[in-house]
Amino acid sequence: MNLLMKVLSLFTLSGFAALTKGNIIMLLVGGVLLYLAIAKKFEPLLLLPIGFGAVLVNLPLAGLMEEGGLLYFISFGINHEIFPCLIFMGIGAMTDFGPLLSNPITLLLGAAAQIGVFIALIGAEILGFTIQEAASIGIIGGADGPTAIYLTVKMAPHLLGAVAVAAYSYMSLVPLILPPIMKLLTTPEERKIVMKQLRPVSRAERILFPIISTVLIGLLLPPSVPIIGMLMLGNLFRESLVVNRLSNTAQNELINIVTIFLATCVGATMQAKYFLTFQTIKIIILGLIAFAFSAAGGVLFGKLLNKITGGKINPLIGAAGVSAVPMSARVVQKVGREADPKNFLLMHAMGPNVSGVIGTAVAAGVMLALLK
C-alpha cells in the first residue's frame, strides 16, 4: 500500500498530471513543424528549433519560460532586439547587392512587394486589432522573420509568438505559395522573357553602397538604424575584402549560434494558454493575405515595368521582392525555366530579392516612426 501511495504521489507531481488538452495540441503542432523541417526540408534551420521550442515549452511544470528558467534568460536577446539585429549582420555578410546595383530599377520591385504589409495592416484594424498590433501583423507580408520579430517586440510583444511563427512558416512555404500567384498574374509569353545580362559592378560601388544606404536611410528613418545598420555592417565586412575573418564569422558561426537561440525562443513563445486563441487564427490568416498581396504587388509592378521598358523586364522577378532570401529568387528561377528551360532568371531575381530585405526594414522603420 505504501508503495502504491508513493507511485500515486509521484504521478501527481509529474507532468502527466498537469497535461492539458492545449498542451497536447501544441505538442502536435510542434511535431508538425518538426516533420516539415526534417521530412519536407522546409526551412529546417528555422522550423526545427522553432518546432522543438514549442515542444519544450508545452511540457508541463518544466518552467523553461518562467522567471529563472533556461529559455527565460535566453529570450533576453529577443526581448531587447539583440538577436534580430545580429541575424541581420549575418544576412548582410551573406548578401550580394551586385544584382541590385547592376540594375537599380529592381529596387522598385522590392518596394512594390511591400503593398501586402499595408493591406494586412488595414485589414487587421478592421478586425479590431490596435494600430500597433496591426502593424506587427502586416509586417508578416515582408517574409522577413527578424524584421517581424524586431517590430513586434517594440509594438505588440504579446503577439510575438503568433507573428513570428506565421512569418517563418510562410517563409518556409515560399515554394508552395509563390508559383500559383506568379502563374495566375502572368502569361506564358511573359514568363519566357529573357533578360539582358547584368553589367559588372565595381568594387567601389560595392563598398560605397552599404555606407551611403546606412546614412541616407538612417537620417530619413532613425528607428530603422539598428536593423539597417547591422545589415549594412555585415555587407561592408563582405565587400571590403580586408576583414575576411569577421565576414566569415558573421555569416557562419555567429548567425548559426544566434539562429539556434532565436528560433528556439520563438518556438517557446507558443505556450498553449497564449497561442491557442481565436486571435492567433486571425493573425495567421492575415499573415497569409499580407504575403499573397506582397507577391502579387511585385509581379504586377513587374508587368508595369515590362511595358515601360518595352519588354525588357520579366514580370516573374517581381515576386522575389517579398524577401525570403534567396528562396523566392530560386522559385522565380524554377517557374521561369518551366516556361523556357534555357531562361536564367536567378541573378535578375536577386535584385528585387535583396531590395525586399531593405524595403521590409524601411517599412518597419516607417511604422515605428509614425505609430509607436
Evaluate whether 227 touches 364 at the Cβ level (below 8 Å).
yes
Whether the CA torsion 242, 354, 176, 169 is positive or negative: it is positive
Q: How confident is the model at residue 3 (pLDDT cuts 50, 70, 90)?
A: low
* pLDDT attached to residue 222: 94
Instruction: Decide if pLDDT at 2 tops 60.
Output: yes
* Rounded-to-integer distance, Cα 336 and Cα 314, Å: 9
Instruction: Decide if pLDDT at 166 tops 80.
Output: yes
What residues does each domain of the chain span?
24-59+75-371
* % of the chain exceeding 90 in pLDDT: 76
Nearest to 81, CA basis, from 27, 2, 162, 148: 148
Nearest to 157, CA basis, from 68, 266, 298: 266
* pLDDT attached to residue 137: 94
Tell me, what DSSP letter sits at residue 42?
S
- What is the length of the chain? 372
Nearest to 134, CA basis, from 117, 114, 111: 117
* pLDDT attached to residue 12: 67
* pLDDT attached to residue 73: 94
* pLDDT attached to residue 160: 87
* pLDDT attached to residue 8: 61
* pLDDT attached to residue 103: 93
**Region 310-316 average pLDDT:** 94
* pLDDT attached to residue 9: 62
* Rounded-to-integer distance, Cα 232 and Cα 217, Å: 11
Q: How confident is the model at residue 1 (pLDDT cuts 50, 70, 90)?
A: low
Q: Is 0.85 topped by the overall pTM? A: yes
Q: Using one digit for the tens of pLDDT, what is the confidence trace for 328-364?
A: 999 999 999 999 998 999 999 999 999 999 999 999 9
What phi, psi does 362 have (nearest 5°)? -65, -40
* pLDDT attached to residue 164: 86
Q: Using one digit for the tens of pLDDT, what is the confidence trace for 39-52?
A: 988 889 988 999 99
* 62 burial via Cβ count (<10 Å: 0-12, 13-18, 19+): middle
* Rounded-to-integer distance, Cα 319 and Cα 81, Å: 29
Helix (H, G, I), strand (E, B) or coil at 63: coil
* % of the chain exceeding 70 in pLDDT: 97
Instruction: Decide if pLDDT at 6 tops 70.
Output: no
* Rounded-to-integer distance, Cα 180 and Cα 174, Å: 11
Instruction: Decide if pLDDT at 208 tops 70.
Output: yes
Tell me, what DSSP letter sits at residue 195?
P
Question: Over the Cα atoms of the chain, what is R_g?
Answer: 22
Report the chain's mean pLDDT, rounded to a whole number.
92
* pLDDT attached to residue 10: 61
Residue 326: is the preceding peptide bond cis (ω within 30°)?
Answer: yes
* Rounded-to-integer distance, Cα 358 and Cα 228, Å: 7
* Rounded-to-integer distance, Cα 33 and Cα 40, Å: 10
* Rounded-to-integer distance, Cα 142 and Cα 192, Å: 27
Q: Under 8 Å CB-to-CB from 76, ≥6 apart: which residues? A: 82
* pLDDT attached to residue 206: 97
Evaluate whether 349 touches 325 at the Cβ level (below 8 Å).
no
**Region 281-305 average pLDDT:** 93
